[in-house]
Amino acid sequence: MDIEYLRKKTNAINTASYEKQIYDLKQLLEISKSLSTELNIHTIIDSILYICMCQMRTLSAGLFIQKDFDAPAFTLASNYNGMEIDESIDYSIPVSHPLLNLLERTNMTYSYEELKGILKEAADGLEVFEPLKPSLIVPLIAKRHINGILVLGERIDLGEGNIYSSYEKEQILNIASLAAIAINNAQLMDMATTDMMTKLKTKHYFFTILTDKIETSAKQEIPLSVLMFDIDFFKKFNDTYGHDCGDYVLKTVADTIKNGIRAQDLASRYGGEEFTVMLYNTDKDTAFKIAERIRKKIEGLKLKYNGNKVSLTISIGLSTFNSREPVSAKQLVVEADTALYESKRTGRNKTSCFSGS
């Protein structure tokens, strides 16, 4: 009787285990489908953190990634979840830190305490994890290259504290592998649509997004504005100080533009010394204020190149999409360019709005 009872109990446990594995495999398939259809890195990170927190039943999670493909460090992405940390601190791990080599070489999960024991001589660099209260640290490996570090926070109390079973560690590594591929694809997309010198988006990508946002603006009857920038007398920088100075000026203007717009906006290098900005859900008056703020910021820069003072100004043209009189993305940019020409014709270092005449 006791043997028969144990046999039935064992069979029930085995059946439950198999059902759990089948369920988890189905979950992995759904996760793969979800991540493979998305190319926006911020959306991907949100999905990864949500999935991992649910699957591993943790209260928080964060992801360290390289902000650019050649960034010198892995930095905690700003859309971490559930972590109460000091946002003024830069949570980063240099690419040269031994941790990266260890994770890439082993592709294993580690607790914070395990890492401190293994990397005793480099333990100081691991202190970045301390405020995150990690229960598990997971590498994201794609094509044998690490492109992210997942940090899982404290687990929901299951009576076992922060202990993970071997099966759970295997499961989170499977999810991490899918996440790494998704991040790799998003980063490749970002590289393909980014101007390498200025780090702004390319002209082609700008038109793709602008076309999409114009359709949305027309349906929802919300405003959208376009700014076109041109560096005044740009040729003199190349002729007087050389092309390296010209590159320096381009990067400086690009950085100022990028820092002067919002997350919902999009800046691109249109060509040469011209830049475009899409200001989503922004009317003409607000767009003018943004343009003038950027113009004045650039005018006030105190630049030096090889010991020489460099004076810098820009001219700006502004056009605004009106859902009652819709135009194409190309036409909206032409209108901004027409307004830009007016700024240059009437003295430069100013913002002009397209009048329609």
Q: What is the pLDDT of residues 116-166, one digit of tens each?
A: 999 988 888 899 999 999 999 999 999 899 999 999 999 987 666 678 999
Per-domain residue ranges for the chain?
2-190, 203-353
Whole-angstrom distance, CA of residue 268 vs CA of residue 248: 17
Phi-psi region of 319 (alpha: psi -120 to 50; beta: other; left: phi over 0): beta
For the chain, what is the largest distance between any 2 Cα atoms, rounded to a whole number of angstroms? 100
Both structure tokens of 14? 């085995």
Both structure tokens of 340? 């830009």
Query: How confident is the model over 23-33, as pLDDT tens digits?
Result: 666 676 677 77
Q: What are phi and psi of 177, to 5 degrees?
A: -65, -45
Query: How confident is the model over 312-329, as pLDDT tens digits?
Result: 999 999 999 987 888 999
Query: How confident is the model over 225-262, as pLDDT tens digits?
Result: 999 999 999 999 999 989 999 999 999 999 999 999 99
Whole-Å CA distances, 260 to 228, 277, 356: 14, 11, 27
Residue listed under structure tokens 């056009």: 319
Give residue 324's pLDDT.
Answer: 80
The neighbour count for residue 68, using CB atoms within 10 Å, is: 13
Whole-angstrom distance, CA of residue 16 vs CA of residue 58: 23
Residues known to be catalytic: 273
Residue listed under structure tokens 């990067």: 251
Q: Domain spanning 203-353 has what CATH number?
A: 3.30.70.270
Q: What are phi and psi of 303, to 5 degrees?
A: -95, 145
Model pTM above 0.85? no
Whole-angstrom distance, CA of residue 171 vs CA of residue 54: 12
Asked whether the predicted pLDDT for residue 10 surpasses 70, the reply is no
Non-local (6+) Cβ contacts of 293 within 8 A are 260
Whole-angstrom distance, CA of residue 168 vs CA of residue 151: 15
Both structure tokens of 97? 């830190």
Does domain 2-190 fall under CATH 3.40.50.1000? My reply is: no
What is the percentage of the chain residues whose pLDDT exceeds 70?
A: 89
Q: What are phi and psi of 351, to 5 degrees?
A: -115, 130
Residue listed under structure tokens 């038109």: 207
Give residue 124's pLDDT.
Answer: 81
Which residues share a beta bridge with 150?
63, 138
Cα 194–Cα 140–Cα 157 angle in degrees, nearest 5: 125
Whole-angstrom distance, CA of residue 48 vs CA of residue 32: 11
Helix (H, G, I), strand (E, B) or coil at 202: coil
The neighbour count for residue 226, using CB atoms within 10 Å, is: 28
Find out whether 225 and 318 touch, Cβ atoms under 8 Å: yes
What is the percentage of the chain residues whose pLDDT exceeds 90?
A: 65
Q: Sign of torsion, CA 163 165 168 174?
A: positive
Find out whether 76 and 63 touch, Cβ atoms under 8 Å: yes
DSSP 113: H
Whole-Å CA distances, 90 to 51, 68, 73, 85, 261: 25, 16, 11, 11, 22
Q: Where residue 1 falls among pLDDT bands split at 50, 70, 90? A: very low
Q: Where residue 20 falls among pLDDT bands split at 50, 70, 90? A: low
